[in-house]
Amino acid sequence: MMWGLMNGWGYGGGIVFGLIWMIIQVAIVVGAIYFIVSLFQNKKGGHRSNDALEILRERYARGEISEEEYKERKRNLEEK
């Protein structure tokens, strides 16, 4: 009696491994796209608002700006 390829398993395993490989490839592409998009978002100002608030706090702490000016600028930065 002859079982054919792979002792009777035939190409059934190939379909499963093919689907797994396709899922892995899609995950790699999606991950790369996500990574690239996150890099561009950070360069465009993803953390800029936090940096601006930190600078504003430092200027207020050094006495360079008044409390009114601090509150007004803080409100403006938080609206953006």
Provide DSSP, the chain: ----GGGGTTTHHHHHHHHHHHHHHHHHHHHHHHHHHHHHHIIIIITHHHHHHHHHHHHHHHTSS-HHHHHHHHHHHHH-
Give tens-digit pLDDT for 20-71: 999 999 999 999 999 998 888 766 555 555 788 899 999 999 999 999 999 9
For the full predicted model, state whether its pTM sits above 0.85.
no
- Reply yes or no on whether the pLDDT at 14 is more than 80: no
pLDDT at 57: 92
Round the average pLDDT of the chain to a whole number and report it.
80
